[in-house]
Amino acid sequence: MPKQALAMLGILAVSASAQEGWWMREPIRWVQTNLRQTDAGLDAGRLIGELADMRANVLLEGMGGIAAYYPTTAPFHYPSPELPPGRDMFGDVLKEAHARKIRVVGRFDFSKTRKAVFDAHPEWFFRQANGEPVIYNGLYSTCINGGYYRVQAMKILAEALEKYDVDGLFFNMFGNQSRDYGGRYVGLCHCDQCRRLYREQFHQEIPETPDDDYRKFMFRSSREVAAAIGGLIREKRPQAGYFNYVQESTDGIMSESNTAVARPLPLWPYSASDNVNRARNSQPGKMAVNLNMQFVDYWWRFATVPREEIALRSWQNLAHGGALTFEVNGTLDLEDRQALEAVKPIFRWAAANERYYVHQSSAARVVLLGSPAGTGRTYSQDAYRGMFRLLSEEHIPFAVSDNLDWMGKRDFDVAIATDWAPAALRQYAEGGGKVLIASATAPEFEVAPVERTESDVKGYIRIRDHAAFPSLKDTDLLLLNGPFTTVKTGGERALTLIPPSLIGPPEFVHIDMHDTDIPALMSERAGKGMVVWIPWNLGELYYRLSLPAHAGLFRDLFDRLEPRRQILTDAHRLVEMSLMRQGGRTLLHLVNLSGHSETGYFAPVPMDAIHVRIAGNFRSARTVRRPGALAVRSAGAYSEFTVPRLVDYELVVLD
């Protein structure tokens, strides 16, 4: 590796943690314009005027990389061919934006560049297994381990940072992508640098398909470059934010709520809530910027998703303490303006009430473990999403975390795990915590000795103790479809396994059904706390089938672990509630998801007279979306009030 690249990597320690910058101190209303080369001559005053009119206060706009929107002199960096001679479009936008108190985050993409760079330095580029470069629309894909990312990109960034007083930088498509924009699989990079580094680290050749070692290799490579970029930004523009889809070394956690025509169904209507909740609670020192993508898919960038989907994502972003966002391709001169017109009034409303949308933190007493970050291990998204839905539909406030950094720093009453139940959860339980695990994958600590796991059991769960499960008074059987783990000893007999039996013809259906004593539920005291293990995939079954019996089992088990809920309400199950703290007050956000149906998003059904009890003593409550003071009544350990009407979103401020 060149000495200059090694020197850049010496910056790693400088950018190890996030700054407490403007992105954490100010309410954020963020608009991203993914500019095309042909937009290089845009009218800066007009664009900024449009943003000011909708009350946006942060603009993410194209700056450089594949095409520069300013006159650059950095080697191997090229202005857009549509940039008028003598024009500094990015500089004009920055000047106009700052005059209107709008912050500007410059966008770079170093994943591809022109043939002239490839001809001069072919060693900087991604090579397929057959040695061929990856070319898409005339652009050549670079390699995260090559000199373009490690050396040349730093020169380009240094020029940009010295030239412009940007408020932040964002980097797109970071790292070696295994598919191009058209979806064609190009595989893993086999350039000389990648092959050498991989042999040094793992003593073998690069595999044909990614395995755990290769994922660790790419994770390490991308984080090295991310840290070097972060260090350069700190050096040149200490007040600027650093944003990227890589979480390490950055100031914000970027994500997207987007669609794709070939994405497996069902749609995930909690996309924005999921992304923001996870980001804000996994790394509370960083801002969650979940981009609200206006377009349907890569092939149809100018066709927008439904207005109601844009609005739902917007309210979810706000309800969980993230930035309000909106993303378009090109400028705001759209040929399909539905999404833009849907988001404008939300931006204006959020601006008028911006004091509520800064310094929020989750007040939830339940933590749901997400996929363990950076490990490359397999994880069932369906199981996680099913548990996410169960908690949301039960109106149980919860924080999502993909790490255990919260242990010893924040108090949770219950920790819930699906496919990832790390050994440290036993320590949490022994200290007084309560753990609920729902997975056929055995936890990383012993709850009961495992005998075997069967991968596909099409049977039932027998309910033997209805007194323990009051929600299941009308059913004796629960559907079981999927993996099931049998333990050698221990377990409760309140739930037991019924193995597969005959399914046809009708005259033979289940005539051989028989009960077993194999427990389908384990629980044990652990120090001062409790661990409950459901050795089958309850969350995954609920995500796919939405059976009330599975929901009832979860409800009863949760109430056994935590009999005093934070929220008691008669709200519809499709009313999402998040409970947040903001200084000395509490904020209750209500988001109406009733407009989502299968592949459609429609206007939500208005709901009247939602009764709410919240744990704690509050003197006053008021609604903000439909302004009004609410009568607050003391109800034992709870404060009780009624939200008179919920249309799309409501915010209740409690003091």
At 153, which CATH number? 3.20.20.80
Q: State the pairing for strand pair 529-534/522-526.
A: antiparallel
One-letter amino acid at 654 equals L
511: Cα within 13 Å, side-chain hemisphere = 6
The yes-or-no verdict on residue 622 having pLDDT over 60 is yes
Residue 150, number of CB atoms within 10 A of its CB: 24
Q: How far apart are CA 213 and CA 175, in angstroms?
A: 16
Query: Which tokens go with 582?
Result: 């903001």
The yes-or-no verdict on residue 597 having pLDDT over 80 is yes
Which percentage of the chain shows pLDDT scores above 90?
93
Residue 404, number of CB atoms within 10 A of its CB: 17
Q: Whose CA is closest to 579, among 544, 542, 616, 530?
A: 616
Question: 3-state class of 476 per DSSP?
Answer: coil
> Domain end: 356, 376, 409, which one?
356
Q: How confident is the model at residue 373 (pLDDT cuts 50, 70, 90)?
A: low
Residues 577 and 590 reside in one and the same domain = yes
Residue with tokens 């409690």: 654
Q: How confident is the model at residue 491 (pLDDT cuts 50, 70, 90)?
A: confident
Phi, psi of 393 (to 5 degrees): -70, -25
Q: Whose CA is closest to 181, among 111, 244, 131, 119?
A: 111
The sheet with strand 633-635 has its strands ordered as 567-569, 607-615, 638-646, 633-635
Does residue 429 come out as left (phi exceeding 0), alpha (psi in the -120 to 50 range) or beta?
alpha
Phi, psi of 644 (to 5 degrees): -65, -35
Mean per-residue pLDDT of the chain: 94
Q: What's the number of domains the chain is made of? A: 3
pLDDT attached to residue 654: 98
Contact 250, 279 (CB under 8 A): no
Q: How far apart are CA 533 and CA 512, in angstroms?
A: 29
| Cα distances (Å, whole numbers) of residue 190 to 132, 176, 223 | 9, 11, 19
Residues 301 and 425 reside in one and the same domain = no
Question: 3-state class of 131 per DSSP?
Answer: coil
Q: How far apart are CA 25 and CA 463, in angstroms?
A: 52
> Domain end: 315, 336, 356, which one?
356
Residues 48 and 168 reside in one and the same domain = yes
The mean pLDDT of 583-592, rounded to a whole number, is 97
Residues 547 and 624 reside in one and the same domain = no
The yes-or-no verdict on residue 519 having pLDDT over 50 is yes
Query: Which tokens go with 629?
Result: 């003071």
Q: How far apart are CA 539 and CA 545, in angstroms?
A: 10
The mean pLDDT of 306-326, rounded to a whole number, is 98
| Cα distances (Å, whole numbers) of residue 145 to 149, 196, 516 | 7, 10, 57
Alpha helix ranges (H) inside 413-511: 424-430
Q: Whose CA is closest to 315, among 594, 53, 569?
A: 594
The mean pLDDT of 560-569, rounded to a whole number, is 96
Q: Which domain holds residue 591?
A: 568-654
Q: How far apart are CA 195 and CA 571, in angstroms?
A: 57
Residues 381 and 304 reside in one and the same domain = no
Contact 576, 375 (CB under 8 A): no
At 583, which CATH number? 2.60.40.1180
Residues 329 and 374 reside in one and the same domain = no
Which percentage of the chain shows pLDDT scores above 70?
96
Residues 611 and 502 reside in one and the same domain = no
Q: How confident is the model at residue 6 (pLDDT cuts 50, 70, 90)?
A: very low
Q: How far apart are CA 153 and CA 563, in angstroms?
A: 56
Phi, psi of 157 (to 5 degrees): -65, -40
The yes-or-no verdict on residue 243 having pLDDT over 60 is yes
End-to-end CA distance of the chain: 59
pLDDT attached to residue 18: 64
Does residue 19 come out as left (phi exceeding 0), alpha (psi in the -120 to 50 range) or beta?
beta
Residues 219 and 343 reside in one and the same domain = yes
Q: How far apart are CA 146 and CA 121, in angstroms?
A: 10
Dihedral, 642, 645, 648, 649 alpha carbons, nearest 10:
-40
| Cα distances (Å, whole numbers) of residue 312 to 257, 258, 411 | 11, 12, 30
Q: How far apart are CA 370 and CA 250, in angstroms?
A: 20
pLDDT attached to residue 22: 97
The yes-or-no verdict on residue 2 having pLDDT over 60 is no
Q: How confident is the model at residue 378 (pLDDT cuts 50, 70, 90)?
A: low
pTM (2 d.p.)? 0.94
Residues 514 and 602 reside in one and the same domain = no
pLDDT in tens, 50-108: 999 999 999 999 999 999 999 999 999 999 999 999 999 999 999 999 999 999 999 99
One-letter amino acid at 296 equals V
Contact 430, 600 (CB under 8 A): no
pLDDT attached to residue 20: 85
pLDDT in tens, 332-357: 999 999 999 999 999 999 999 999 99
pLDDT in tens, 248-292: 899 999 999 999 999 999 999 999 999 999 999 999 999 999 999
Contact 252, 241 (CB under 8 A): yes
Contact 367, 406 (CB under 8 A): yes
> Domain end: 337, 356, 375, which one?
356
Query: Which tokens go with 321?
Result: 């303490």
DSSP 64: E
Q: How far apart are CA 39 and CA 104, in angstroms?
A: 17
Residues 588 and 540 reside in one and the same domain = no
The mean pLDDT of 295-317, rounded to a whole number, is 97
Residues 556 and 642 reside in one and the same domain = no
pLDDT in tens, 402-427: 999 999 999 999 999 999 999 999 99
Query: Which tokens go with 78?
Result: 């090229």
Query: Which tokens go with 573?
Result: 């199950």
Q: How far apart are CA 51 and CA 212, in angstroms?
A: 44
Residues 577 and 553 reside in one and the same domain = no
